[in-house]
């Protein structure tokens, strides 16, 4: 084989690989922050939507039973009949109650400080308060709040 054929069969040079890696790095530097910002926003929206869904199910349970579940009965009352709820016609949710988008259980209190019940997710940090992805998602502010 002559030198031209050997050159064609070798593959990429180190310099070509370095240039490709730099280009990929630059693209990642521009795209990654926007992508991760969307993930945080999507998790907040998912938590708000789940809280709205739970609120609708809690309202249906209250119409049947005459009251919201106590804090001790919790959201489990939407799937399993608690003792003392004779008119329970559930389950009020088609699937098991999932954790919030950050993997933590939703917090349910009844009676609540802001209404008949308070339902919330404490966000990524799992503690009250915070901003961004640590922001609390609460039932009393509604879907837009």
In the chain, domain spans: 44-141
Q: What is the pLDDT of residue 120?
A: 95
Q: What is the mean pLDDT of the chain?
A: 84
Q: Do 75 and 106 meet the contact criterion of CB atoms below 8 Å apart?
A: yes
Question: Which range, 28-32, 80-84, 127-131, is most confident?
Answer: 80-84
Q: What is the pLDDT of residue 121?
A: 94
Q: What is the pLDDT of residue 15?
A: 79
Q: What is the pLDDT of residue 100?
A: 93
Residue 134 tokens read as 């640590």
Rg from Cα positions in the chain: 26
Q: Count CA atoms within 13 Å of residue 125 on its CB side.
A: 10
Q: What is the pLDDT of residue 34?
A: 66
CATH number of the domain located at residue range(s) 44-141 in this protein = 3.30.700.10
Q: Structure pTM?
A: 0.71
**Share above pLDDT 70 across residues of the chain, in percent, rounded to a whole number:** 84
Q: What is the pLDDT of residue 122?
A: 93
Q: Do 119 and 30 meet the contact criterion of CB atoms below 8 Å apart?
A: no
Q: What confidence tens digit (pLDDT) does each residue in 29-81 have?
A: 777 666 666 677 888 889 999 999 999 999 999 999 999 999 999 999 999 99
Is the pLDDT assigned to residue 123 strictly greater than 70?
yes
Find residue 138's DSSP bridge partners. 120
Given the structure tokens 């991760």, which residue do they identify? 36
């Amino acid at each position: 084989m002559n030198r031209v054929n050997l050159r064609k069969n070798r593959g990429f040079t180190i310099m070509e690989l370095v240039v490709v890696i730099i280009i990929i790095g630059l693209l990642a530097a521009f795209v990654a922050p926007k992508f991760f910002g969307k993930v945080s926003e999507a998790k907040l929206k998912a938590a708000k939507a789940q809280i709205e869904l739970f609120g609708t199910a809690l309202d249906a349970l209250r119409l049947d039973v005459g009251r919201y579940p106590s804090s001790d009965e919790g959201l489990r009352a939407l799937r399993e009949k608690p003792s003392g709820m004779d008119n329970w016609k559930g389950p009020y949710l088609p699937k098991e109650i999932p954790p919030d988008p950050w993997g933590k259980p939703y917090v349910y209190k009844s009676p609540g400080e802001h209404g008949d019940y308070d339902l919330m997710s404490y966000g990524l940090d799992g503690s009250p308060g915070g901003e961004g992805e640590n922001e609390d998602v609460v039932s009393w502010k509604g879907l837009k709040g």
